[in-house]
C-alpha cells in the first residue's frame, strides 16, 4: 500500500491538523467521500422511494446501488439483506428486540463486549426474564473457545459476540463460534464495528445470521451504520420502530409490514450518508482490505516494539502485536488515562481516546478505571507512530510513578 499517496486523500492529514490515532471511535474521511456527500446536497437533494420525479429517482438509484456495493463488498448475493441504520448500536438493538425472545430463553455473550452488545441483552434480562451467560475471556483478553462451549445448551436462543474487541484488539473466531451456536439451534449476532473497517469480511463464509457495523468507522459519514441479516432471519424479525416506509398498507384498524429491508428503515433516510457510504466502500475496495489489514499489523508491530522496554507502561490485552488488530490500549502507573490523553495532545498534537471505551464490564471486572487507547488506520504513517511512542515514553518516564 502506498501510504504517502493515501495520506494525500485526507484533508485533515494534508492540513497537518495533528496525528489522529482515534479511528476506533470514528475514522477520517477522504476527499471522494466528502465530494459524494456534497454532490448529493448540491445536485439531487431529494427523497428516494417516495416521489417519482427525476431528482427523487436519482436518489432511489443511489440507494439501490449502495446496497449492491455492500453485497459485493461483504461477499453476499442479495442486496436487500442490508438494512441502513444510523450506527452499529441501532443494528444490535434491532436484533436484540426483534428476535422475539421470551422468558427462559438464554443469550450467550462474552465478558468483553461493548455496551451496545451488552446493555440491550441486560435490559431484556431485567424486563422479560431472558437468561444471560457470559463466556469468560482468557487472562490476556483473548477469546476462550472452551469457556464459550461451556455456556452453550439447548436453551440458548442467541449467541451475540464482537468480531474484534475495541480495547484489546483481540479477534473472535466468528465462523467457529457460529458452527457451535448453530449446532444448538441458536441465532448468531455479531458486532462487527471494529472488524469491518480493518479486515476482509466474507459474510457467506462466516455463516453468521446478523452482522452489524458502523460506516463512520469505515471512512464513511457520521450517522451511518448497516445491519446485515440472512433473509430468513430478517423476515422473522420485528422492526425496532414503525412508521413511514415500514408498512405496506395501514388502515384505521391494522397494518401489514413492508418487505425486507424497508420494514426496518422507519422514516426518511440519511441519503447523504448512503451516498457517502457507497464512496467509502469504493475507496476501501481500491486500496484492498488485505492491504489495510497488513498495514494495521505493521503499525501495531512498530508500537509494541518501540514501547517494549518502557518503565511504568501497562498494555491492556496481549503484547503480541499480531493479536491486537489496530488497537493499542495502555495505562501508565501513577497517571489517569485522561491525563495521558491530554498530555499527548498538548505536547505533540497526538489525538487518542481515554476512558472505558464503552466496554464497562471489561474494566469493572478487573477493577480498572479505564485506559488510554491509540487506534490506527490506513492513513497513519510510521513517522506518526514513532512520534506517538516517543511521546508515551516521555510521559511514562517523566510523569509516571
Question: Which residues does residue 65 pair with via DSSP β-bridges, in sequence order?
Answer: none
Query: CA angle 34-287-192, nearest 5°?
Result: 80
On whether the CB atoms of residues 392 and 313 are closer than 8 A, the answer is yes
Cell of 204: 457467506
Residue ranges with strand state E in 258-383: 313-316, 327-332, 350-351, 353-355, 371-375
Distance CA 178, CA 51 (A): 42
The b-or-e profile of 165-187 (16+ CB within 10 A means b, else e) is: bbbbbbbbebeebbebbeebebb
To the query of whether residue 358 is one of the catalytic residues in this protein, the response is yes
Distance CA 133, CA 127 (A): 16
Which of 345, 298, 344, 306 is closest to 322 using CA atoms?
298
Given the residues 164, 170, 212, 358, the one annotated as active site: 358
Q: What are phi and psi of 163, to 5 degrees?
A: -90, -40
Cell of 396: 511514562
Report, as residue numbers or ranges, the catalytic residues. 358
Amino acid at each position: 500500500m502506498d501510504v504517502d499517496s493515501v495520506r494525500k486523500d485526507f484533508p485533515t492529514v494534508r492540513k497537518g491538523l495533528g496525528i489522529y490515532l482515534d479511528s476506533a471511535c470514528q475514522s477520517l474521511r477522504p476527499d471522494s467521500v466528502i465530494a459524494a456527500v456534497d454532490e448529493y446536497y448540491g445536485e439531487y437533494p431529494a427523497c428516494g422511494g417516495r416521489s417519482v420525479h427525476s431528482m427523487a429517482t436519482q436518489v432511489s438509484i443511489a440507494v439501490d446501488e449502495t446496497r449492491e456495493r455492500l453485497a459485493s463488498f461483504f461477499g453476499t448475493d442479495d442486496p436487500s439483506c442490508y438494512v441502513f441504520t444510523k450506527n452499529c448500536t441501532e443494528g444490535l438493538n434491532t436484533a436484540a428486540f426483534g428476535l422475539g425472545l421470551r422468558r427462559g430463553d438464554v443469550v450467550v455473550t462474552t465478558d468483553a463486549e461493548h455496551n451496545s452488545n451488552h446493555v440491550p441483552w441486560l435490559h431484556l434480562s431485567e424486563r422479560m426474564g431472558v437468561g444471560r451467560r457470559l463466556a469468560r475471556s482468557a487472562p490476556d483478553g483473548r477469546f476462550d473457545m472452551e469457556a464459550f462451549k461451556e455456556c452453550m445448551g439447548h436453551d440458548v436462543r442467541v449467541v451475540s459476540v464482537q468480531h474484534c474487541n475495541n480495547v484489546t484488539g483481540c479477534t473472535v473466531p466468528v465462523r467457529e463460534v457460529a458452527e457451535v451456536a448453530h449446532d444448538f439451534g441458536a441465532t448468531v449476532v455479531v458486532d462487527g464495528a471494529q472488524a469491518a473497517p480493518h479486515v476482509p469480511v466474507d459474510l457467506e463464509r462466516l455463516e453468521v445470521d446478523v452482522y452489524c457495523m458502523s460506516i463512520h468507522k469505515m471512512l464513511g459519514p457520521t450517522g451511518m451504520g448497516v445491519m446485515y441479516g440472512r433473509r430468513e432471519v430478517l423476515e422473522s424479525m420485528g422492526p425496532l420502530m414503525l412508521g413511514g416506509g415500514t408498512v405496506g398498507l395501514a388502515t384505521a384498524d391494522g397494518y401489514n409490514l413492508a418487505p425486507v429491508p424497508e420494514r426496518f428503515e422507519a422514516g426518511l433516510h440519511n441519503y447523504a450518508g448512503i451516498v457517502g457510504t457507497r464512496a467509502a466502500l469504493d475507496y476501501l475496495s481500491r486500496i484492498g482490505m488485505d492491504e489495510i489489514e497488513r498495514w494495521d499489523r505493521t503499525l501495531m508491530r512498530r508500537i509494541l516494539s518501540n514501547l517494549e522496554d518502557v518503565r511504568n507502561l501497562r498494555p491492556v490485552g496481549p503484547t503480541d502485536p499480531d493479536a491486537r488488530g489496530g488497537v493499542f490500549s495502555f495505562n501508565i502507573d501513577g497517571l489517569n488515562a485522561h491525563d495521558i490523553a491530554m498530555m499527548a495532545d498538548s505536547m505533540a498534537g497526538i489525538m487518542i481516546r481515554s476512558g472505558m471505551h464503552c466496554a464497562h464490564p471489561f474494566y469493572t471486572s478487573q477493577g480498572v478505571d479505564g485506559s488510554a487507547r491509540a487506534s490506527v488506520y490506513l492513513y497513519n504513517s510510521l513517522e506518526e507512530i514513532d512520534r506517538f511512542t516517543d511521546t508515551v515514553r516521555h510521559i511514562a518516564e517523566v510523569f509516571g510513578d
